[in-house]
Amino acid sequence: MRKIITVSREFGSGGREFGKRLAEHLGVGYFDGEVVEALARQTSLDKGYLDKVLENGVTHFPASYANSFSRISAASNSAMLIAKQHNVIKEIAKNNDCVIVGRGADSVLDDLKPFKIFVYADMAAKIARCRGRMPEGENPSDKELEKKIKGIDKGRRTTHDLYSSFVWGDKAAYNLCVNTSGLSIESVVPAVAEIISDYFKN
């Protein structure tokens, strides 16, 4: 049985760091942007373009897409690329013990009984984390950052739920939900890895 761990996460909660450290600790493959890179190779499309389409999902279009034909065409293009991304994810999981971050992997791989983690945090912690990663010179207010964080998570939830039998972030669908506020991700990852080992033993 493949050891597959999916990490879904709120923006700013440290989910990516969590997933990366977890993969390192477990000695398995780590897949995040790698999924899009594989898709870019397959489709000969630009990775930056794919990132944008896949992140915004099927519900947000540029304001320039004023008429409904443009919108339908964009939606069907986006849906097609998301379906292709799902195939890439299945292929990865077939060939590797791995940690996959985001990209609907929790739902796409559900039949394979992955260990599903949801990483989240209090808003204050997420704002602080985002601020720590801002390019120099940028100094948005807390309110602006909160709006950005909520907007990104709304996009993730919408895209996820369109292709899933469960709701993004609903704890019932996950094996473990970790609130990173007040925790050192580096310190707790080994403990989480032990819980995961127990799951794959049973």
- Interacting residues with a second copy (CB under 8 A): 118, 120, 122, 169, 171-172, 174-179, 181-184, 187-188, 190-192, 194-195, 198-199, 201-202
Q: Which is nearer to a second copy, 94 or 113 (CB)?
A: 113
Rounded to whole angstroms, what are the CA distances from 33 to 16, 20, 69, 80, 86?
10, 12, 31, 18, 14
CB of 31 to a second copy, least distance (A): 23
End-to-end CA distance of the chain: 11
Q: Which is nearer to a second copy, 31 or 118 (CB)?
A: 118
CB of 18 to a second copy, least distance (A): 12
Q: Which is nearer to a second copy, 40 or 193 (CB)?
A: 193
CB of 24 to a second copy, least distance (A): 17
CB of 197 to a second copy, least distance (A): 9
Torsion over CA: 44, 49, 52, 58 (sign): negative
Q: Using CA atoms, how far apart are residues 53 and 146, in angstroms rounded to an integer?
A: 23
Q: Using CA atoms, how far apart are residues 157 and 90, in angstroms rounded to an integer?
A: 20
